[in-house]
Structure 1
Amino acid sequence: MFTAALLVPLTVSGQVGWTEHTIATGFSGAISVYAIDVDADTDIDVIGAAWNASEISWWENDGSENFSKHVVADNVAGVIFVYAADLDDDSDIDILGTANSGDDIVWWENDSMENFTAHTITDDFDGVHSVYVYDLDGDTDQDILAAAYNADDICWWENDGDENFTKHIIADNFDGAWTAYPVNLDGDSDFDVVGAARDANEICWWENDGSQNFTVHLVDDSFSGAHIVCAADLDSDGDVDILGTARTGDEIAWWENDGSENFAKHTITSDYDWPTFVQAVDVNADNEIDLVSAAYNANRISWWENDGSENFAEHTIDDNFTGAIPVQAIDLDGDTDVDVVSAAYGLNSLAWWESDFIGIEEEDTGYLPGTKCSSTFVSSAQQLNDYKDRRIFDVSGRELGYTSMQPGVYFIEDKGKIADKIIVIK
């Protein structure tokens, strides 16, 4: 057996630790959050919505994660959801919000100096909840997709290019429509829609024929209190799967796409008290899609580690975040790892959790002693032990003894530096 020491700087991946940082307190009824670079200064800011305060505000990041509050609007009765995108294609970030009590969808136009002007898209979308921005008709401007609980509707608003919006109904009998999410589910280059209906306990998707005529397909009709739905290629097989939370069923599940849009359900947990949000993201940089989630009654923020075979192990980020509702995974501090942002309705607060995972660009790298080229060879794994202060890890971050190394891929740390990827060949 010999080893080839390839000087490729990679990171030893183990458990991810988290440090909580408060963004805001006294934000009465904090219910939604969205992190994005609002002011185009290359750091990530945070937008939040507060139900009791009827308020949408944004917090400016000074580049060192010190946040200053700016009020966008304080008269949005029943505000329940915020999102942000460059809606008018003028190279700045605009803000969108839904008002569940007022039945409103509103966007606030950024003048590029973060002065925001309100424009109402609709004021009669009864019980509106989620809103997203995507170019649904492929005409290069940004359209609006939303779901309304009381109206049982999923609709989209076509942008004419000048931010005049025309309503189109996708579904008008989706009982308790809570979420509508745009995604190209069938790989045909147009955007389809997946949706969750709380009262119908349904997950459905609507196939776009390319001309924005939508055909409904049932995915699941027994997902109790279907709440949030999104989509991602969870099993890395080249097609898009569906991911969702069930409010009354305390469930997080995913539906595996066989490549022909036949979906098989896999339950991740059925004991997560009132799951309110879930997002698919690679938390620990192992090229597998993990999840982050929030649970309102459990007061919990979690991430779920994918072992590569779509078995998900829960890791608690915070179990005392009272009334956790939204969650978003994003690199908030610019250190190349995945942080987490959330809002706590019961605490009237916004917070973010800093990951201590070491990103590739952060890791101090170096050569093995005695080598100055891109590769070197030694006669056996045991020979690596001739040097002091050297440690070997497998790809999951587990430290190994030299005698336990089998053929495979390993990482070597020498005097605190991640020096090489070691491929052991027998």
Structure 2
Amino acid sequence: MVDPAYNVPRSSMQSKFLVAVLAAPLLAGPKTPEIAFERHVIDLGRNEACAVADVNGDGRLDIISGENWYEAPTWKKHHHRELFLFNNYLDDFSDLPLDVDSDGDVDIISAAWGSRRVGWYENPGKGQGMWAEHVVDEGSPTEFAFLVDMDNDGVKDEVLPQYGGREGFTAWYEREGKGAEVRWNRHVVSNKLHGHGIGAGDVNGDGRNDVLTPEGWLEAPKDPRATGEWTFHAEWTFDKLGFLYVYDVDGDGLNDVITSQAHDYGVFVLRQQRDPQGGRKWVKELVDDAWSQAHAMTPVDLNGDGKMELVTGKRLYAHNGHDPGGRETLGIYWYERVDVGGKAEWVRHIIDYGGRSGGGMQIPVVDLDGDGDLDIVVAGKGGVYLFENVSH
């Protein structure tokens, strides 16, 4: 069950958000060093997703988004595929870099809602020319997908899509073979959909990665490839989440769940605890509810303090302005959890506010320029942007 102890309702803070973010951190926590970011406009064209990988094998990390990839260090645009445009969306809701065919260069796995498929685009070598498309699976509108470790080998090379619609199934995909012989095996974990949002991680501490949904979690069996539905634990219920990350946020040895309302207000943590009988219970701890449409989030040690921070941001027109707060000001933020008088509080730091850039569907956080600190890439309907960490 979910204990709403930390589920603080939104207040007038939303209307005073601009003043708050310009004047002070979200909460009156300890003064922490800010991280300076310099914004670079990569492309003003419409996109939804983005990724970072060495596309051409020159040792530099490039940016991939939508129909193009951008070559480091000058971000020269290379057109490599044609995508469907529908209802104000470019039909590319996830870009996942992986050497699918094991030929030594990085390919891109893409999730698409309008064309109802998950596919992968084959790098012809050094990224040049148009990339051939291959189907992973089709027939279901796909909200997004992630690379996860479902076979528990320590490598995130399986695909976990979040299918939309009212009817369907929940499954992960494993590739088999090399080169032209690559094929994808579908492993169904539930013969139904469990809402908008998906994730993977070890919820119960048995060393196996489970599948998380807005309606609860599916417990992985000893053999994740075994046929049959996984045991479902209906321990929480939410509507329209983004990705659900599993991480021990409070350091108590129990894994917690980090997620957000993708089409409403709220970024929050479900802290795993034990009731007097030793059963699991979940306490909702609010991170921030002053802005809406946090569709993407990346947990990462952004400031190098050895602790996990959250990087997230407001997606531009996630539902074409019809979501709660859908037309409010865009912003990108990072959050850190600090101790204030013996109580945990989340402090908001601004990366960008009031521009065209938002959180989009993915937020890669990597050392893009090799200078020892972490940079941030975002993409959305307002374009593709690099936020270069210039704190060093």
- The bucket for the TM-score relative to the shorter chain is 0.7 to 0.9
Q: How far does residue 166 in structure 1 lie from its aligned partner after superposition?
A: 2.5
Q: How far does residue 188 in structure 1 lie from its aligned partner after superposition?
A: 3.1
Indicate the SS of the match to 1:272.
strand
Determine which of 269, 279, 304 is the counterpart of 2:298. 279
Unaligned runs of 5+ in 2: 1-31, 86-90, 316-325
CA contact (8 A) 1:87 1:94 kept: yes
Q: Does 1:307 align with 2:322?
A: no
CA distance in 1, matches of 2:101, 2:293: 36
Amino acid of the structure 1 residue aligned with 2:109: L
CA contact (8 A) 2:141 2:164 kept: yes
Determine which of 27, 31, 37 is the counterpart of 2:48. 31
Q: How far does residue 356 in structure 1 lie from its aligned partner after superposition?
A: 2.6
CA contact (8 A) 2:111 2:143 kept: yes
Determine which of 236, 239, 255 is the counterpart of 1:220. 236
Q: Spell out, residue by residue over 1:371-411, the C-alpha distance to the aligned partner (whole angstroms, 9 max, x if none).
A: xxxxxxxxxxxxxxxxxxxxxxxxxxxxxxxxxxxxxxxxx
CA distance in 1, matches of 2:54, 2:280: 35
Determine which of 164, 169, 172 is the counterpart of 1:153. 169
Determine which of 220, 236, 252 is the counterpart of 1:208. 220
Bigger shift: 127-136 or 97-106?
127-136
Determine which of 183, 190, 208 is the counterpart of 2:201. 183
CA distance in 2, matches of 1:302, 1:169: 36
Q: How far does residue 285 in structure 1 lie from its aligned partner after superposition?
A: 1.5
Counterpart for residue 116 of structure 2: 103
Given the two structures, how large is their TM-score scaled by the length of structure 1? 0.69
Given the two structures, how large is their TM-score scaled by the length of structure 2? 0.75
Judged with a 3 Å threshold, the aligned counterparts in structure 2 of structure 1 residues 129 and 225 are, in CA distance, closer, same or farther, namely closer
CA distance in 1, matches of 2:273, 2:99: 34
CA contact (8 A) 1:156 1:169 kept: yes
Bigger shift: 74-83 or 349-358?
74-83
Percent sequence identity is 21
Amino acid of the structure 2 residue aligned with 1:160: E
Amino acid of the structure 1 residue aligned with 2:80: V
CA contact (8 A) 1:178 1:228 kept: no
Q: Does 1:291 align with 2:310?
A: yes
Q: How far does residue 274 in structure 1 lie from its aligned partner after superposition?
A: 2.0
Amino acid of the structure 2 residue aligned with 1:312: W
Judged with a 3 Å threshold, the aligned counterparts in structure 2 of structure 1 residues 328 and 234 are, in CA distance, closer, same or farther, namely farther
Residues paired across the two proteins, number: 325
Indicate the SS of the match to 1:131.
strand
CA contact (8 A) 1:130 1:178 kept: no
Q: Does 1:68 align with 2:76?
A: yes
Amino acid of the structure 1 residue aligned with 2:346: F
Determine which of 135, 141, 163 is the counterpart of 1:127. 141
Q: How far does residue 112 in structure 1 lie from its aligned partner after superposition?
A: 4.0
CA distance in 1, matches of 2:145, 2:259: 16
CA distance in 2, matches of 1:21, 1:323: 11
Which has more radius of gyration? 1
Judged with a 3 Å threshold, the aligned counterparts in structure 2 of structure 1 residues 237 and 42 are, in CA distance, closer, same or farther, namely farther
Judged with a 3 Å threshold, the aligned counterparts in structure 2 of structure 1 residues 302 and 142 are, in CA distance, closer, same or farther, namely closer
CA distance in 1, matches of 2:104, 2:200: 22
Judged with a 3 Å threshold, the aligned counterparts in structure 2 of structure 1 residues 357 and 233 are, in CA distance, closer, same or farther, namely farther
Amino acid of the structure 2 residue aligned with 1:306: R
Counterpart for residue 354 of structure 1: 388
Unaligned runs of 5+ in 1: 1-12, 50-55, 197-201, 359-426
Q: How far does residue 239 in structure 1 lie from its aligned partner after superposition?
A: 4.3
CA distance in 1, matches of 2:370, 2:292: 32
CA distance in 1, matches of 2:210, 2:186: 17
CA distance in 2, matches of 1:89, 1:263: 41
CA contact (8 A) 1:154 1:180 kept: no
Counterpart for residue 210 of structure 2: 192
Superposition CA RMSD, Å: 2.7
Q: How far does residue 246 in structure 1 lie from its aligned partner after superposition?
A: 0.8
Q: How far does residue 145 in structure 1 lie from its aligned partner after superposition?
A: 1.6
Indicate the SS of the match to 2:196.
strand
CA distance in 2, matches of 1:182, 1:38: 27
CA distance in 2, matches of 1:89, 1:141: 15
